[in-house]
Amino acid sequence: MGSEFKCIDCGMVYEPGIRFRCDCGGLLEVIHEFGHVERETFDERLGSMKPPYSSGVWRYKEIINPAIDVGHVVSRPEGNTNLYSHPRLGKYVGLEDLAVKHEGENPSGSFKDRGMTVGISEAVRLGVKAVACASTGNTSASLAAYAAQAGIDCVVFIPEGEIAFGKLAQALSYGAKVLQISGNFDDAMRVVQEASGELGLYLLNSVNPWRIEGQKSIIFEMIQQRGWEPPDWIAVPAGNLGNTSAFGKALREAVELGLIDKVPRIASIQAEGANPFYRLWEEGGEVLEPMKPSTVASAIKIGNPVSWKKALRSVRETEGVVDQVSDQEIMDAKAIVDGCGIGCEPASAASVAGVRKLVEKGVIGPGEEVVCVLTGNLLKDPDASVQYHTGTIKGVEQTYANRPIVIDADIASVERALKRKN
Ligand code: F0G
């Protein structure tokens, strides 16, 4: 069962190798020659302790990378993330129930591990010596971890002073060479693409089509967890647009393979200050206009998303929508998710804030079934949480703050504090 790279613009086909764009400049996607695939195979592997099928990515090997030799697979294992719901969450967004799929439960704390296991395994298959990425933090943490496991050199390009500390700590600790670019993520992305071409670094941003293949597993796993019953909607935060692209491809293939017969609608949610995809959608244009991004959700502070063309196709094909939410809405939604004991980083909460908005607008009906993807762990960005609860984020009100109380070291002060309402 072979796979090939195909240009989404001109249709040119290539052998899968060290190439990330078509000669025409277009993005490449992986096209598989699928064998017979059925739900039962994936159900039988549930709960398996045996690598690589114990992974929530490699469980679906036949639809992610059918041809790779399992000896080349580098897996932690990833995926197998939980679906949660909580009455307070449903109430907050105005639905009977809201489920969240917590991708922050992956080994390095974000969904990136699902793409990275596939990308790094390809790097091993190809025998590359060094891997690289640009990142708002999570990609660099994930790549650094997988490269360390595979014994491959790793270089990460990050915007100086703009990534959350949990993520920087990971990249440094896992031993990546960390290059802090003076500029934003989009500058780092431009430089890493040039560097990978000229300096022989294997690029592992989501422009690498194998990353998208791995991220498809979020959809397969979520639908399998629901007994192969797709929800009506899937909401996802949108930055560089890898996930939005991957979700559309996963749904297209799941239909083609007969795994599902109903296609959920994708709601792709951007931060208001970093919303080039939303603007493209609203204007009904065909070409994305880059912008200078600004948002408290540093993970999605991206003004020139690489995968916008694939993402646009995903939203259109699933009759989905693109929307935007403010920093206030993001931080308030995060406080609710956190307060349910689930917890997520700011960017993740964009999906929940987006659903609330879409319910308010009547785009999502109150009886519809919705799954939000939480993309990263709360501990990735502890500063954002502490700043929200202590009221130190500029321009963001503490709507649901849980303020720390400073007291003297005596029992009377404790008693007073216990009586006080937060
Ligand atoms: N949520 C989190 C927590 C992220 O880290 C990212 C992207 C996104 C959402 C957006 O996903 O790019 O697929 O639309 N982080 C990348 C990084 C850019 O470098 O870690 P997307």
Q: Is the CB of 239 under 6 A from ligand 1?
A: yes
**Ligand 1 atom with the shortest distance to the CA of 237:** 9
* Maximal C-alpha separation, the chain: 76
* Tens-digit pLDDT profile for residues 217-237: 999 999 999 999 999 999 999
* Tens-digit pLDDT profile for residues 66-117: 999 999 999 999 999 999 999 999 999 999 989 999 999 999 999 999 999 9
Q: Vertex 302, ends 297 and 303: CA angle to 5°?
A: 135
Domain assignment present for residue 126? The answer is no
User: Cβ neighbours of residue 122 under 8 Å, at least 6 residues apart?
Assistant: 16, 65, 68, 72, 210
Domain assignment present for residue 133? The answer is no
**How far, in Å, from the CA of 341 to the mean position of ligand 1?**
22
Domain assignment present for residue 410? The answer is no
Helix (H, G, I), strand (E, B) or coil at 32: strand
CB count in 10 Å sphere of residue 49: 7
* Tens-digit pLDDT profile for residues 142-153: 999 999 999 999
pLDDT at res. 422:
67
* Tens-digit pLDDT profile for residues 17-76: 999 999 999 999 999 999 999 999 999 999 889 999 999 999 999 999 999 999 999 999
Q: Is the CB of 68 under 6 A from ligand 1?
A: no
Q: Whose CA is nearest to atom 15 of ligand 1?
A: 299
Residue-range definition of the domain harbouring residue 228: 83-108+211-390
Could you list the beta-strand ranges (E) of 8-75: 13-14, 28-32
**Ligand 1 atom with the shortest distance to the CA of 239:** 14
Could you list the beta-strand ranges (E) of 229-369: 233-237, 265-271, 321-325
Q: Is the CB of 238 under 6 A from ligand 1?
A: yes
Structural domains counted in the chain: 1
**How far, in Å, from the CA of 306 to the mean position of ligand 1?**
12
Domain assignment present for residue 103? The answer is yes
pLDDT at res. 1:
61
Report the alpha-carbon distance of residue 359 to residue 48 in Å, rounded.
38
* Tens-digit pLDDT profile for residues 159-194: 999 999 999 999 999 999 999 999 999 999 999 999
**Ligand 1 atom with the shortest distance to the CA of 215:** 13
The encoded tokens of residue 399 equal 């709507």
Grade residue 263 by pLDDT with cuts at 50, 70 and 90. Answer: very high
The encoded tokens of residue 64 equal 């992610």
Residue 278 has pLDDT above 90, yes or no: yes
**Ligand 1 atom with the shortest distance to the CA of 110:** 3
**How far, in Å, from the CA of 302 to the mean position of ligand 1?**
9
Rounded to the nearest 10°, the torsion over CA 175, 177, 180, 181 is -150
What phi-psi label fits residue 72: left (phi over 0), alpha (psi between -120 and 50 degrees) or beta? alpha
**Ligand 1 atom with the shortest distance to the CA of 240:** 12
**How far, in Å, from the CA of 281 to the mean position of ligand 1?**
19
Grade residue 421 by pLDDT with cuts at 50, 70 and 90. Answer: confident
**Ligand 1 atom with the shortest distance to the CA of 305:** 12
3-state secondary structure string, 152-197? CEEEEEEECCCCCHHHHHHHHHCCCEEEEECCCHHHHHHHHHHHHH
Q: Is the CB of 270 under 6 A from ligand 1?
A: no
Grade residue 138 by pLDDT with cuts at 50, 70 and 90. Answer: very high
Strands 3-7 and 28-32: antiparallel
Span 305-320, average pLDDT: 98
**How far, in Å, from the CA of 205 to the mean position of ligand 1?**
10
Report the alpha-carbon distance of residue 6 to residue 279 in Å, rounded.
28
As a whole-number percent, the residues of the chain with pLDDT over 90 amount to: 97
**How far, in Å, from the CA of 206 to the mean position of ligand 1?**
10
Domain assignment present for residue 116? The answer is no
In the DSSP assignment, the letter for residue 364 is: S
* Tens-digit pLDDT profile for residues 343-388: 999 999 999 999 999 999 999 999 999 999 999 999 999 999 999 9
Domain assignment present for residue 199? The answer is no
Q: Whose CA is nearest to atom 7 of ligand 1?
A: 299
Domain assignment present for residue 51? The answer is no
Alpha-carbon separation of residue 163 from 138, 141, 232, 394 (angstroms)? 9, 11, 34, 17
CATH number at residue 350: 3.40.50.1100
- Cα–Cα nearest to 40, from 281, 346, 257, 210: 257
Q: Is the CB of 108 under 6 A from ligand 1?
A: no
In the DSSP assignment, the letter for residue 341 is: T
**Ligand 1 atom with the shortest distance to the CA of 137:** 20
Any idea which residue has 């960390």 for tokens?
178
Domain assignment present for residue 92? The answer is yes
Q: Is the CB of 347 under 6 A from ligand 1?
A: yes
| Contact in structure between 116 and 170 (CB atoms under 8 Å) | no
